[in-house]
Structure 1
Amino acid sequence: MLNTDARQRLKTLLPSGLVATKAWLQQQGLDLHFIDNAVKSRTLRMLVPGVYVCDETPLSWQGIVSSLQRMQPAFITVGGITALNLEGLAHYQIKNQIVPVSLYSAGSPPAWLNKITACANFEWRGTRRLWPDSIIENAAYLRENQWRQSLPPLHYSGPERAIIELLADVPKNISFEHVDQIMQGLFTLSPRKLEPLLLANCSIKSKRLFLWLAERHNHAWLKYLKPEQYELGSGKRVIAHSGRLDTTWNITVPKDM
């Protein structure tokens, strides 16, 4: 029989729609004996060894990520194309039921992440080559999505940060044409937020490509930026193979662009 106080504690810790690991539940004060008995009594349902939910409610990717964000020691944020999609800025249509979700963190993904649901494919991106620690958890460049009432919100990159993250994936994971289309619609970006992000960003490729696209679309906010102060490196960067060299930013871009 399960202890009443511990059962209530479990219900508070693990509401419907979220997941929890055995290690995290123990860190919150539930002992191993109680957890094992909760599994035997079907109060807890095991998804994979060591990962649980409290009921049969289908999991959403938002619930999984929200759970991750409260359990993982390293800060995790939804970023890149997924963050832009949350803002309605990605021009991105899901062609099947499996949703790609871009997650950014300085830590490593848990081994169970892509084993517990068929609703999403979580694509993990390391942040060490993108952002210093001063940026990663800075609330000024993050937004919240209250995906379900009474449950923890999702933290995701604001559009200024998300577009810079996304450009690191060109052309391997996203095409020039797609990011060009996205950048065309980013006419309301805040130069006040862009400036410190571009100063801090560690990816020379992302910064050069961002400036090329901003110039290409002649955005009004571009005149407030100070590219001469950004660390843009030296020499040419081949981004588009068999492309043409843009001599202003020293990157190769598709010939038809």
Structure 2
Amino acid sequence: INHTSPGAVVLQSWLTQNEISSSLVRKYVQSGWLYKISAGVYVRPESTGKLQPHWVEALKAVNEQLKLPVHLAGVSSLTHQGLSHYLQLSSEQVWVGCQSKQALPKWFRELEEQNWLFYTSSKLSQTLEKDFITIGVNNREVKASCAELAAYEVVNAIGKHISFEHAAELFQGLVNLSPRKIQSILNRSEAVQANR
């Protein structure tokens, strides 16, 4: 437990791999060192007493502890790279790139107080290592779409998750995209709308 930081989501599978038995986990819960948010899913309480994890911690747990290929996508990736000047009027909707929403654990999909937007890149024949970057969010590192992939995800979501007007506003600020990276993504794309 000392290897985790306050606010971190800790999964039973990770605890078991680190030789922490379920009986010891129960003692950690009783003593307040861990708080159970779902079966086999715990959060290390923050000094503020906050028990619900920040979405970054949940995303990191799925990515690093379960080794599922998820990433911060679309508008969320652009926003946290400082490339979105669009004011979010409601609570932040977090775009999560994944192969299939159903492949993600139920506790993650139904995380309390979280407004997820699951984006599946089924129209992209493959993603490459260079399509992703690591960015800092809430003093944590998280895997995210590079600006070019995030822009592709936004265009591919027009009419489904984002309006044309919102996308057009975003693109006014995306003047430094790499033409080479964009071409690489388009070469792997089967999305007619995005390719246009």
TM-score (norm 1): 0.67
Residue 54 (structure 1) shift: 1.9
* Aligned positions of 1:168-183 closer than 5 A: 168-183=156-171
1:51 aligned residue (37, 41, 54): 41
Code of the residue aligned with 2:123 in structure 1: it is R
* Aligned positions of 1:140-219 closer than 5 A: 140-149=130-139, 151=140, 153-208=141-196
1:75 aligned residue (69, 72, 81): 69
Code of the residue aligned with 2:98 in structure 1: it is S
Unaligned runs of 5+ in 2: none
Task: Report how many residues are paired.
Answer: 190
2:20 aligned residue (8, 14, 30): 30
The DSSP-based 3-state class of the residue aligned with 2:106 is coil
CA contact (8 A) 2:155 2:194 kept: yes
Per chain length, whose mean CA-contact separation is higher, i.e. which structure has more relative contact order (CA < 8 Å, sep 6+)? Answer: 2
CA contact (8 A) 1:78 1:157 kept: yes
Larger Rg: 1
Separation in 2 of the partners of 1:145 and 1:117?
24
Unaligned runs of 5+ in 1: 1-9, 209-257
Separation in 1 of the partners of 2:167 and 2:85?
9
The DSSP-based 3-state class of the residue aligned with 1:128 is coil
Residue 123 (structure 1) shift: 1.6
1:103 aligned residue (87, 96, 108): 96
Alpha-carbon RMSD: 2.0
Q: In the alignment, does 2:90 pair up with 1:90?
A: no
The DSSP-based 3-state class of the residue aligned with 2:2 is helix
Instruction: Tell me the residue number matched to 1:123.
Output: 117
Residue 67 (structure 1) shift: 2.5
Percent identity over the alignment is 23
CA contact (8 A) 1:19 1:67 kept: yes
Code of the residue aligned with 2:54 in structure 1: it is S
